[in-house]
Amino acid sequence: MNTQQDLQLQKRMAELERQLANNLIELENKNRDLEIESSLEQVRTVAMAMRKPGDMLEICKTISDQLSLLNVKEVRNVQTAIFNEQKGTYLNHEYYAKHNKLFTTEVYYKDHPVAETFGKQMTSGINQVWVREFKGDELKNWLNYQKTTNVFIDPYLESAGSLNYYYFSLGPVALGVSTYAALNENEINLFKRLRNVFELA
């Protein structure tokens, strides 16, 4: 085989390898899309079956489970908050993934600046967003504040590197997720898609 033929063969092999790599990436993307669609359908099914406020707990668990299946790491909890502005409280339905615990708690949100900011933001209109990260001493102070309230005290926060909240208002109800590590843009967008399905249902 002469040098010209060698070069043509190498060029052809390189092109085949490139096509194979592109096909694998396309296949992975299609598989990911199918996984996401399956998760969205799971949330839609549970949301459509809701009949009473307590059914919010099942939504929280379902969304948390689907985030886990989609490889979103370090999910702490998924929660819904139903606000009563006159009382300055919200009814919190939540599922803690690492603890496998469900809670419904009425939370007063006007006794701490951060909690009050959260409440005001979520009750100021549909599609409001509240994102907050706690680290270091700020996280310790937030945990100490929580210990003075009636919320579930998460022992993992004693050693967590951070606590991150992502809340989205749907009117009088907010849907949120908290994590032990900050979410990246793709993970936030994934949670938004799950929220949209819940909202539409």
Give domain status of residue 21, yes or no. no
Q: Which long-range contacts (CB under 8 A, 24 or more apart) does 154-163 make?
A: 154/76, 154/77, 154/96, 154/99, 156/76, 156/98, 156/180, 161/135, 162/133, 162/134, 162/135, 163/76, 163/133, 163/134, 163/135, 163/139
Cα separation, 174 vs 131, in Å, equals: 13
Residue 17 inside a domain? The answer is no
pLDDT reported for residue 200: 80
Q: Flag residues of the chain having pLDDT under 50.
A: none
The enclosing domain of 195 has a CATH number of 3.30.450
- pLDDT at res. 101: 97
* pTM for the model: 0.84
Instruction: With respect to residue 47, please indicate whether it lies within any of the assigned structural domains.
Output: yes
Residue-level pLDDT at 1: 55
* Domain around 175: 32-200
Residue 12 falls within a domain, yes or no?
no
Split into its structural domains, the chain has a count of: 1
For residue 144, is it within any domain? Answer: yes
pLDDT at 14: 77
- Residue 2 included in any domain: no
| Domain assignment present for 3 | no
**Which residue type does 191 have?**
F
d(CA 85, CA 154): 26
Whether 163 is in a domain gets the answer yes
pLDDT at 17: 79
Look at residue 8 in the predicted model and tell me its pLDDT: 80
